């Protein structure tokens, strides 16, 4: 990530979160607060704060570099979004991801949940930012299109894409959508909207 104009690698451990310099591995900053599950990747907010999920909660921390060095301040902790190993996405002032096995949306201003809905098991999702959509692949292989909006949970479409348990992210490359599990893969050719 790049924080305050400085490229760095964020690493999570049982002791907390640290930012290190890619060139030499030198410690830039640390946030000493135990992190439970350390599988989910941290994310950046539009204004440069860091979102960290620890399995039982999501935290927003402000990391800044000033004349006196690096400072870290915790802004809020929320139980409204608790991804276990499913990544979450940041879009238009909100975070979208899994609260357990159900999709949820929280407000980045205060961490309060805006909505929770749709049962997708331990699925994965990707953001389609230009369309304000989430492309969700359920644990059972169903593909769903969900609105990436804070007002309410809205599933627009859902269909079976692949058989068997999958914990993999769907991938969209131009007009080809790829889904896979441990045994097989499927590709879907999508029609592109014309302007």
- What CATH number does residue 38 fall under? 2.130.10.10
**pLDDT for residue 193 is more than 80:** no
Tokens matching residue 15 = 């002791």
Tell me what the mean pLDDT of segment 132-157 comes to.
97
**Residue 111 has what pLDDT?**
97
Q: Is the dihedral of CA 158, 163, 165, 169 positive or negative?
A: negative
Kindly report, residue by residue over 97-114, the tens digit of the pLDDT: 999 899 999 999 999 999
Q: Is 92 helix (H, G, I), strand (E, B) or coil?
A: coil
Q: In the chain, what is the straight-line distance between the N-terminal and C-terminal CA atoms, in Å? A: 34
The total domain count for the chain is 1
Q: Please give the residue range of the domain that contains residue 39.
A: 2-165
Decide which of 113 and 194 is more confident: 113
Kindly report, residue by residue over 75-88, the tens digit of the pLDDT: 999 999 998 778 89
Tell me what the mean pLDDT of segment 48-53 comes to.
92
Contact 150, 107 (CB under 8 A): yes
Tokens matching residue 101 = 């096995």
Kindly state whether residue 175 falls inside one of the protein's structural domains.
no
State the pTM of this model. 0.92
Kindly state whether residue 184 falls inside one of the protein's structural domains.
no
pLDDT band at 36 (very low <50, low <70, confident <90, very high): low
Contact 110, 84 (CB under 8 A): no
Kindly state whether residue 180 falls inside one of the protein's structural domains.
no
Task: State how far the Cα of 16 lies from the Cα of 50, in Å rounded to an integer.
Answer: 13
Please name the residue that has the structure tokens 């310099």.
21
Tell me what the mean pLDDT of segment 7-23 comes to.
91
Query: Percentages helix, strand, coil for the chain, rounded to the nearest 5?
Result: 0, 50, 50
Kindly report, residue by residue over 151-165, the tens digit of the pLDDT: 999 999 999 999 999
């Amino acid at each position: 990530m790049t924080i305050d104009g400085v490229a760095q690698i964020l690493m999570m451990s049982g002791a907390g979160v640290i930012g290190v310099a890619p060139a030499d591995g030198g410690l830039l900053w640390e946030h000493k607060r135990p992190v439970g599950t350390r599988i989910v990747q941290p994310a950046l907010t539009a204004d440069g704060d860091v979102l960290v999920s620890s399995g039982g909660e999501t935290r927003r921390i402000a990391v800044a570099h000033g004349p006196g060095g690096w400072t870290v301040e915790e802004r809020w902790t929320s139980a409204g979004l608790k991804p276990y190993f499913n990544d979450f996405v940041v879009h238009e002032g909100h975070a979208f991801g899994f609260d357990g096995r159900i999709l949820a949306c929280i407000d980045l201003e205060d961490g309060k949940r805006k909505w929770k809905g749709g049962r997708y098991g331990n699925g994965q999702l990707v953001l389609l930012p230009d369309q304000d959509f989430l492309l969700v692949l359920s644990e059972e292989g169903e593909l769903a299109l969900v609105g990436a909006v804070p007002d309410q949970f809205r599933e627009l479409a859902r269909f079976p894409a692949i058989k068997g348990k999958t914990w993999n992210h769907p991938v969209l490359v131009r007009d080809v959508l790829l889904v896979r599990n441990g045994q097989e893969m499927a590709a879907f050719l999508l029609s592109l909207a014309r302007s």
